[in-house]
Structure 1
Amino acid sequence: MPQVPPHLSAAAIRFLQHLQRNNDRDWFNARKDLFTHEVQDPWLAVLEAVNQRLAEFAPDYVRPARRAAMRIYRDIRFSKDKRPYKTNIAAWWSTTTTERTNGGGFYVHVSHQDVVVAAGVYMPSPAQLLLIRRHLQQHHAELRGMLNSSKIRKLMPELDSNPLRRMPKGFLPDDPAADLLLCRQWALSAKLPLEVATSPKLVNEIAKRFRAVAPMVALLNAPLLAGRAPRKSLF
């Protein structure tokens, strides 16, 4: 019989819901084994399956599941919010040359409320932002075509661009790429119903969206990767 694709269980979603209500170390530590078996291990299996799909269309973004997975622990060092745990499980895939920067990549998270799939460049550094803007002066039509694609608009309908009100320094208002140069980030996303998380369709719903926007991620990353030597393979 064909193997059922990995997905999360109702117990995993319940754990995340209870964590929302009991976000403290004593509660979590008493249930750490439950988190490992019901949430973390199944999530890593989902990420490995997503890796297999990424290898088909974005092989440079494949990362071991444990490296793609984001920590459940919040960084509270500089935050007024001292709750120690995130209330979703998440993952981020980027190229090996940009994984420690804010370059483009693919993202997914599952909470007790929904599934969010996203891709693109989010909160780039000033240096990266300048490189991308200069790149878009020559490739604006290509990116605009992707953003206006009926397939992408259906699968990833939300664009988070955090636009400026005025053109950035060094760029002219009449630049043919002006609408894209005003952006401070280029991130597409889709919010899926919670039942997707506990369905065998989970991996496919993530992968088909990643596949659709992979050319956009590659376009935005091109100026950031130019001239960088790839690191040794992680496998």
Structure 2
Amino acid sequence: MSSGEFTGFSDDCLNFLADLAKNNNKAWFEENKPRYQESVLEPSRAFVRALSRRFPGELRSGLVADPRINKSLFKIYRDTRFSKDKTPFKTHVGLWFWEGDKKRMEWPGFYFHLEPNRFFVAAGMHHFPQTILPVYRKAVVHEKLGAALSELDAEMKKKGLELSGRHYKMTPRGFDKEHVNAKFLLFNGLTLGRESLPGPLVNQAGLVDHCLKIWQEMLPLHNWLLQMLKTV
């Protein structure tokens, strides 16, 4: 694969991730690091570069597609400090494209996920920061933004998509549990996702087109979140 050219994720990308799941230790990873770089890291960067050229005209011009680790590429090393699972490595490819010059995980964006038996793309905000959660709740019951959220919910359902993010069991204090949008008050994030098994398309350059098409369907959620955040 030449620099900047995305031709798909090879079979060995998925094979490497499957092998890593069976040998999730630092010694095995170090021994197989060249394979990781060739089969996982390089095509991931090429995929990000390909999308960076397409986003302005086909999705959003303000999206950040940066092929560096801890930018659009999530690092493969797991943070195990507060986890019972002490395996050191992630066994999937995770890519994130966020809006504007804000902190990457505190602003809306589009997500790509690939592992041996799971492939999905998503949009939204997985977890609202504590500074944003009160703003989101006010937007849910706001006359215009709340109505737009209800319309968005109905529109996405027609496309076979479901808004996700429910976390709380009880309506937060100070809000009406009978409100038409009450279910959204139980959310601590707001996302859409479309999932499938990895198919032949994963191995092809056409994966870029496929992901863009799905993200275009999800764009109304992204736009709603941006409108919500304008009130911050």
- Taking structure 1 as the reference length, the TM-score comes to 0.85
The structure-2 alpha-carbon separation of the partners of 1:165 and 1:105, relative to structure 1 and needing over 3 Å to count, comes to same
Structure 1 SS opposite 2:211? helix
* Deviation per residue, 1:102-139 (Å, 9 max, x gap): 33211111101121111112121232111112123231
Q: Answer yes or no: is 1:146 the counterpart of 2:147.
A: no
* Deviation per residue, 1:182-230 (Å, 9 max, x gap): 3222111111221132233311121111112122112113333456xxx
Match of 2:166 among 139, 162, 169: 162
Partners in 1 of 2:167 and 2:39 — Cα distance?
40
Structure with more relative contact order (C-alpha pairs < 8 Å, separation 6 or more): 1
Partners in 1 of 2:187 and 2:81 — Cα distance?
30
Deviation at 1:5, TM superposition (A): 5.2
Partners in 2 of 1:152 and 1:13 — Cα distance?
32
Partners in 1 of 2:180 and 2:226 — Cα distance?
21
Q: How many residues align?
A: 222
Q: Write out aligned runs for 1:108-127 (5 A).
A: 108-127=112-131
Check conservation: 1:7, 1:43, Cα contact below 8 A: no
Stretches of 4+ aligned residues off by more than 6 angstroms? none
Structure 2 SS opposite 1:134? helix
Q: What letter corresponds to residue 130 of structure 1 in structure 2?
A: P
Which stretch shows the higher mean deviation, 80-89 or 91-100? 91-100
**What are structure 1's unaligned runs of at least 5 residues?**
228-235
Partners in 1 of 2:14 and 2:158 — Cα distance?
28
The structure-2 alpha-carbon separation of the partners of 1:44 and 1:52, relative to structure 1 and needing over 3 Å to count, comes to same
Q: Answer yes or no: is 1:205 the counterpart of 2:202.
A: no
CA RMSD in angstroms comes to: 2.1
- Percent sequence identity over aligned pairs: 27
Q: What letter corresponds to residue 78 of structure 1 in structure 2?
A: F
Deviation at 1:151, TM superposition (A): 7.7
The structure-2 alpha-carbon separation of the partners of 1:152 and 1:36, relative to structure 1 and needing over 3 Å to count, comes to farther
The residue number in structure 2 matching 1:177 is 181
Q: Answer yes or no: is 1:134 the counterpart of 2:135.
A: no
